[in-house]
C-alpha cells in the first residue's frame, strides 16, 4: 500500500544557551527520523517525555520546518510552512493536542469553533456549514444543544470530543494525535480511543498516535515506533514490539508495564535520563544500556530489518554485529 504520509530523514535542531557565559549549544530534538502512515492505519509513536515525539508530529504536519529531510503527503512534497499551498493542505491534515482546554477558544461556543475550519478553508456552501458542524458534533457523541456551550461548561471528556469534532469536521485524510488522552480520566480515555477508531473506519483516516502510554498505543496502532533521544530505535507490529521488544531501550520501556501474559522483571535503567544537549557518542543509549559493548560508544547503529522477523531495530547487539558484553554503569 502506498503511504499517504512519508517522512524521510527528518532533522530538527535548536540552539540552546547554557552556563554562566550563555554558551550556545545545539540540541538535536529529532535526528534522522523516517516514518510512514497509510490510509486507514495508525502508527503509534512512543518514548519518554522529551524524546522528540511531539516535534516529529509538528514536522510531519509542516507546523515546523525541518533542518534536513523531507515530508511527502499523498505523493506530493509538503509545501513550505506558511505558504498558500501549505494552508490549502491543512484541511486534509489535522492535529489533536493533549490539552483540550488549551486547544479551544474560551470565548467562543463549541459549535462556532467546530464550524471555524470549514469557514477558513471555505469547505462546502456557507449556508450548509453550521449543519456540517452539528454533524461533526453528533459523530463524536455530543448533543446539538451542547453546540451553544462554552469550553468551561463541558467536562474534560466532552472538551476532547469537541476538539476531535473540530479536527474531523473538514474530513481530513491524516490526523496527528499528540497525547490525546493523557489529560483524561481512565473511563473517558477508552471512549475517546474507541471514537478515534470509529472515525478511522468511517473516513479511512491515517493516524499518527503520539503517546507515552504503551497500553493505549497497543490498542489503537497497526504499527509502533519507539523513539529514544530523537531517533527511532525499533519499529514493527504492536504485538511484537510491545510484547517481545528487541531493542534494549524498548525492553526497559515495556518492562515497566505490568502485563498478564509476559514474564520477566522490570528492567530499571542505570544512569541519568538523556540530555539532548549532551548527546552521547555512538549509540545514544549506550551509557544506560545493560548490554553495551565498546563498539556502541563509537558507532551509531542504523535502523534496519532484523534477521529473522524483519522488524526494524537500531542496535549493534540485536543485529548480531557484536556479541553482548555487559558493561553496566554504576547507578
Residues that bind ligand SF4 (CB under 6 A): 247-248, 283, 285-286, 289, 291-292, 296, 301, 315-317
In angstroms, what is the minimal distance from the CB of 84 to ligand SF4?
44
Q: Does residue 120 contact residue 164 with C-beta atoms inside 8 Å?
A: no
User: Cα dist. 20→14, 23, 274 in Å?
Assistant: 19, 8, 22
E strand spans, 55-205 = 68-73, 76-77, 93-96, 174-178
20 vs 323 by CB, closer to ligand SF4: 323
The SS3 call for residue 94 is strand
What is the closest distance, in whole angstroms, from the C-beta atom of residue 236 to ligand SF4 in the complex? 16
For ligand SF4, the closer CB: 161 or 288: 288
Look-up: residue for cell 524521510?
8
Nearest approach, Cβ of 229 to ligand SF4 (angstroms)? 11
Nearest approach, Cβ of 292 to ligand SF4 (angstroms)?
4
Distance of CA 172 to the CA centre of its chain: 17
Q: What is the DSSP letter of 51?
A: S
CB closer to ligand SF4 out of 52 and 180: 52
What's the rounded Cα separation, in Å, for the pair 234 and 227? 7
Nearer to ligand SF4, 223 or 316 (CB): 316
Beta bridge partners of 254: none
CB of 105 or CB of 309, closer to ligand SF4: 309
Give Cβ neighbours of residue 102 (< 8 Å, ≥ 6 apart).
none
H-helix or E-strand containing 281?
Answer: none
Q: Which residue has the cell 535503567?
A: 269
Find, among 182, 227, 304, the residue nearest to 59 by Cα: 227
- The least CB distance from residue 318 to ligand SF4, in Å, is 6
Q: What are the residues facing 77 on neighbouring strands?
A: 72
Q: Which is nearer to ligand SF4, 21 or 326 (CB)?
A: 326
The residue among 103, 240, 322 whose CA lies nearest residue 225 is 240
- State in angstroms the smallest separation of the CB of 324 from ligand SF4: 7
Smallest gap from residue 250 Cβ to ligand SF4 (A): 9
Residue with smaller CB distance to ligand SF4, 242 or 296: 296
Specify burial of residue 53 (Cβ count, 10 A radius: 0-12, 13-18, 19+).
buried
Cβ proximity to ligand SF4, 51 vs 71, nearer residue: 51
Q: Is 242 helix (H, G, I), strand (E, B) or coil?
A: coil
Residue 286 beta carbon to ligand SF4: minimum distance, rounded to whole angstroms: 4
Amino acid at each position: 500500500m502506498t503511504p499517504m504520509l512519508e517522512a524521510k530523514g527528518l532533522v530538527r535542531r535548536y540552539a540552546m544557551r547554557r552556563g554562566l557565559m550563555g554558551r550556545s549549544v545545539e540540541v538535536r530534538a529529532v535526528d534522522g527520523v523516517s516514518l510512514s502512515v497509510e490510509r486507514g492505519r495508525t502508527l503509534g509513536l512512543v518514548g519518554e517525555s522529551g524524546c522528540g515525539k511531539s516535534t516529529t508530529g509538528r514536522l510531519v504536519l509542516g507546523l515546523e520546518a525541518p533542518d534536513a529531510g523531507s515530508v511527502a503527503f499523498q505523493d506530493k512534497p509538503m509545501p513550505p510552512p506558511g505558504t498558500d499551498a501549505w494552508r490549502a493542505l491543512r484541511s486534509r491534515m489535522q492535529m489533536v493536542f493533549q490539552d483540550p482546554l488549551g486547544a479551544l477558544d474560551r470565548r467562543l461556543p463549541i459549535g462556532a469553533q467546530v464550524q471555524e475550519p470549514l469557514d477558513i478553508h471555505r469547505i462546502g456552501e456557507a449556508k450548509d456549514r453550521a449543519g456540517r458542524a452539528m454533524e461533526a458534533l453528533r459523530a463524536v457523541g455530543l448533543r446539538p444543544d451542547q453546540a451553544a456551550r462554552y469550553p468551561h461548561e463541558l467536562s474534560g471528556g466532552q472538551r476532547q470530543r469537541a476538539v476531535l469534532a473540530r479536527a474531523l469536521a473538514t474530513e481530513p485524510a491524516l490526523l496527528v494525535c499528540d497525547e490525546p488522552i493523557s489529560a483524561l480520566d481512565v473511563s473517558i480515555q477508552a471512549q475517546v480511543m474507541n471514537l478515534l477508531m470509529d472515525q478511522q473506519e468511517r473516513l479511512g483516516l491515517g493516524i499518527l498516535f503520539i503517546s507515552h502510554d504503551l497500553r493505549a498505543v497497543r490498542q489503537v496502532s497497526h504499527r509502533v515506533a519507539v523513539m529514544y533521544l530523537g531517533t527511532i530505535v525499533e519499529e514493527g507490529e504492536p504485538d511484537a514490539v510491545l510484547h517481545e521488544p528487541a531493542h534494549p531501550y524498548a525492553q526497559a520501556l515495556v518492562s515497566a508495564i505490568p502485563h498478564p501474559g509476559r514474564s520477566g522483571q522490570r528492567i530499571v535503567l542505570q544512569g541519568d535520563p538523556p540530555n539532548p544537549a549532551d548527546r552521547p557518542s555512538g549509540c545514544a543509549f549506550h551509557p544506560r544500556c545493560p548490554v553495551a559493548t565498546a563498539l556502541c560508544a563509537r558507532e551509531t547503529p542504523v535502523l534496519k530489518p532484523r534477521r529473522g522477523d524483519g522488524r526494524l531495530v537500531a542496535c549493534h547487539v540485536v543485529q548480531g554485529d557484536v556479541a553482548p558484553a555487559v558493561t553496566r554503569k554504576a547507578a
